[in-house]
Amino acid sequence: MKSSEEIMLLLELNGYDVTKYKLKKQLEYEDSGNLDLYRHKKFSDLLISHYGFSQSTDFLYQNPLTYKDTWPEEIKSIDQFYVTHPDINGEVTFKDFINDDSYNEVNKESILYDILDTYVEEYREASITRMENLKSMIILLPKKSKKYKKPSKGSFLFSIILFLILALLFKNPSLLLLGYAEQINGFLYDIPWYSALGVLTIYILGIYAIINNFVGRYIRDVRSEKNKHAEKTFDKWEQDMKDARLKQSGMLEDYVDLVIKKPRKSYFELTTLIYPEKLMDKFKNYVKMINRKYDWMTKYYSKVMKIMRIVLIVGVVLSVIFIMLGLSFIWGWLNVSV
C-alpha cells in the first residue's frame, strides 16, 4: 500500500470525507479489470478489494467483457475463459464445454445463455456505476474559486497595446501619428544596442500576452466542465454506452446460436466484443485529463501568477526605459553616439 493511501485511509477512519480521492483511486484501480470495485462505497473496502485481487493469475477467470489490450497476447478468444455453472461439473473453458457431447443442445444453449447473461448483467451494473463515478469526479470540481482567478484581461490588453506600439516603431512609425515616432525609428537603425533593447522588450511583452491568454483559457476550460454543456455530454455518453452494451448483447446471442449449431466455431475474438469497454476507457481518459488539469492548476497556480507578474513588470519597465531613451536622444539629453 502506498503512503498516500495509508494517509487517506486514516483520514477516512477518523471521519474525514475522502470521496474525491476514493473516486480517483477507483478510476486507477479499474485498470486491473476488477469489477468488484464498483460495489464499495468506502475507501477502506475499496483498498481491500483492490489489493485482494490477483490480476496476474485471474485473467481467464474474469469477465471477458473487461478484456484490455494490455492483457497477455495469448488471450485472444472468449472460448479460452473458464466458466462455472451449477449444471457443470468443475471448471471448464468455453471451448471444452461447447464441444462436450454429454450435454444436449437445449441444455447447452440454456447454460451458455445463463453464463453470458451473468457476464452482461455484471458488466452493465459495473459500467453504470463507473459512469456515475466519472460524472461525480467532474461535479466535485469547484466551479468557481476566489483563489484561482483568471489573469487580468486589463493587463493582457495593456501588454498587447505596448507590444503593437513598439512593433510599429520598428516597422511603420507613421501609423502611430506621433511626432517623435519616426525619429525614434531612425535611432533604431543608428544605435544597435537601442534596437536590441526594443526587440527584447517586444519579445517579453509578447511572451506575457501568450502566457496570459494560455493560463486564462486553461482555467476557463477546467471550470467549464461543470456547466450545463458538460451535463449534456455525460447524458450522451450514458446513451452511447447503453447502445454499445445492447450491440454487445446481440453479438453474444449470435455467438450462442452459432456454436450450438457449429461447436467447432467457438473462437470469438475479444477485440470485436469489447467496444463498450473501449468507450469506457475513452471517457475515463477524458475525466483523468480534466482532473490532471485541475490538479496542475491548484499546484502551480501561485507560481505561474508570480512569474506572469514579474514578466509583465519587466516588460513595462523596459518599455518605459526604451521610450525615455528615445525621447532623451531627441531632446538632446543623451548623445546619439552613446
Q: What is the pLDDT along the chain (338 residues), one digit of tens a residue?
A: 788 888 888 888 888 888 878 888 887 887 777 777 777 888 888 888 888 876 555 788 888 998 888 788 889 999 999 988 888 888 899 999 998 888 888 999 999 999 999 999 999 998 888 888 888 887 776 665 667 788 989 999 999 999 999 999 888 888 876 778 888 888 888 888 989 999 999 999 999 999 999 999 888 887 776 665 677 788 888 899 999 999 999 999 999 999 998 988 889 999 888 899 889 888 888 888 888 888 888 889 999 999 999 999 999 999 999 999 988 888 877 776 54
Residue 276 near residue 67 (C-beta atoms within 8 A): no
**40 & 71 share domain:** no
Please report whether residue 336 resides in a domain.
no
Query: Which three cell numbers, joined as nine digits, stand for 2?
Result: 502506498
Residue 135 near residue 287 (C-beta atoms within 8 A): no
Residue 205 near residue 313 (C-beta atoms within 8 A): no
Domain housing 236: 54-331
Residue 94 near residue 266 (C-beta atoms within 8 A): yes
**25 & 127 share domain:** no
Please report whether residue 111 resides in a domain.
yes
d(CA 158, CA 165): 11
Please report whether residue 278 resides in a domain.
yes
d(CA 112, CA 198): 78
Query: Which three cell numbers, joined as nine digits, stand for 120?
Result: 452482461
Please report whether residue 227 resides in a domain.
yes
**191 & 272 share domain:** yes
Give the per-residue pLDDT at 338: 46
Residue written as cell 447454460? 111
Residue written as cell 544605435? 191
The continuous run of DSSP H or E covering 208 comes out as helix 192-224
Please report whether residue 66 resides in a domain.
yes
Query: Which three cell numbers, joined as nine digits, stand for 48?
Result: 481491500
The domain tally of the chain equals 2
Q: Is 55 exposed, middle or buried (0-12, 13-18, 19+ CB in 10 A)?
A: middle
Residue 165, C-beta contacts closer than 8 angstroms, at least 6 positions apart: 176
Given the DSSP bridges, would you call strands 92-93 and 82-83 parallel, antiparallel or unpaired? antiparallel
d(CA 251, CA 162): 64
**62 & 46 share domain:** no
Give the per-residue pLDDT at 56: 54
**234 & 142 share domain:** yes
Model pTM?
0.69
